[in-house]
Structure 1
């Protein structure tokens, strides 16, 4: 199953047959062309896609961090309401790896679990996910801060 955020992110580029879109054009496509969401929610989707490293801003416009030619948006596809709920950092790491290596979410989860086992279960799942993402050639810069907060924020919690 293709990641829903990836499908939503790819659609404006595919629809406009472009490799780069201005922020305005990306959000306009989601809200007015496709009529999928209100403009404020289109901004939220843009931010989530950037946070999940599916999109980047190259100074001129938004550019997908994955090959949109490999994405087939099903006919009559509409995003579910769940797309607007915040995903965990491990879900974003899995989506990033899926977007970049052509494996499905189940295969990626198995890779991450295997990496964690190789490390003797001494690291959090998010750290194993980052290592797996790096090994599969993903740019993980945008996820460092969230993983750091998740992992080291736990040290401050009372036991």
Structure 2
């Protein structure tokens, strides 16, 4: 097992072990890494979760995730902090070309300057104190401007905002 995999296991084991659960909601997992542990910003915590899923360390159960390794093999220490060099390597794993940003699709027909769209998205993220990602903020801005969004996305957005 390489250093990156070991570090990912240790990082991803923390939320489960600290909560005493074998399965966690994805947003609870991200919240634990970013707020409870104060190790990462929420977008980085989400990226780490996605990489761990891609690396088959976590099993994606839809709304929840589970560790795909024996959590009992991981010993937590109170003074542990993720290794920045390894975190950088972990983030490099996921540097493949990203799909088009949702705001370019959702907000492209909105008759306001691109800078204003960006400001509105950033304002929503700031108002939500960083607890939502850029995509969710874009949905909020789109809805605010009367743009129709898919019913399933709307349901997810409502669920996110009520937590």
Rounded to whole Å, the distance in 1 between the matches of 2:76 and 2:7 is 10
How many residues of Structure 1 are paired with residues of Structure 2 in the alignment? 88
Give the alignment partner of residue 67 of structure 1, picking from 67, 70, 79.
70
Residues 48-59 of structure 1 aligned to structure 2 (within 5 Å) = 48-59=51-62
How well do the aligned residues superpose, as a CA RMSD in angstroms? Answer: 1.9
Asked if structure 2 preserves the Cα contact closer than 8 Å seen for 1:55 and 1:65, the reply is yes
Higher relative contact order (CA 8 A, sep 6+): 1
Deviations 1:86-144 (A, max 9, x none): 249xxxxxxxxxxxxxxxxxxxxxxxxxxxxxxxxxxxxxxxxxxxxxxxxxxxxxxxx
Aligned to 1:97: none
Larger radius of gyration: 2
Asked if structure 2 preserves the Cα contact closer than 8 Å seen for 1:10 and 1:64, the reply is yes
Aligned to 2:80: 77
Asked if structure 1 preserves the Cα contact closer than 8 Å seen for 2:26 and 2:63, the reply is no
Segments of 4+ moved more than 3 angstroms: none
Residue ranges of structure 2 left out of the alignment (5+ in a row): 95-163
Rounded to whole Å, the distance in 2 between the matches of 1:34 and 1:50 is 20
Residue ranges of structure 1 left out of the alignment (5+ in a row): 89-159
Give the alignment partner of residue 25 of structure 2, picking from 16, 22, 26.
22
